[in-house]
Amino acid sequence: MSVRALRAEDAGWVTALNAANVAATAPMDEAAYRNMLEQAFRATALEGACLIAFDEGADYGSENFEWFGARYERFAYVDRVIVPEAARGKGLARALYEDLFAASRGAGKPLVCCEINTPNPVSDVFHARMGFGEVGKATLRSGKRVRYLARTL
């Protein structure tokens, strides 16, 4: 398995994958995808799965990103990691996260953080196995409840 950078020409399959999983992520059209690529600290793909992460310097208006920005000076924030349903359990998300951990260490970022919708027991177990711990909770303006997680590198 070889992780590669996401590219502008990946917009079609990434936005389709996102749309199929929008309940666990957030809406994203092709224009939003291109904007995210421009702002991303790390945007990667692996066998039909993808991960998009921002760092503290990004101009990204997500409530969740802003929550971390108000509390941490240097970090990498996983905005979304999406694995096609048929490919789940094959280690794709783990490999994407490991790549992000390595890139974050290399850039001097001591923390990788994310949020997960709650309840979401599958994601809870996965993130606990990856070394994440809860650092907060929130109810978003949309009414969605989330848990904020972080892993120190």
Domains and CATH numbers, the chain: 4-152 (3.40.630.30)
Instruction: State the pLDDT at residue 7.
Output: 98
Listing from the earlier edge strand, what are the strands of the sheet with 145-152? 4-5, 42-46, 49-55, 76-82, 111-117, 145-152, 133-139
d(CA 55, CA 122): 26
d(CA 76, CA 65): 10
Q: Tens digit of pLDDT per residue, the chain (153 long)? A: 799 999 999 999 999 999 999 988 889 999 999 999 999 999 999 999 999 999 999 999 899 999 999 999 999 999 999 999 999 999 999 999 999 999 999 999 999 999 999 999 989 999 999 999 999 999 999 999 999 999 999
d(CA 122, CA 124): 5
Instruction: State the pLDDT at residue 64.
Output: 96
Q: What are phi and psi of 103, to 5 degrees?
A: -65, -40
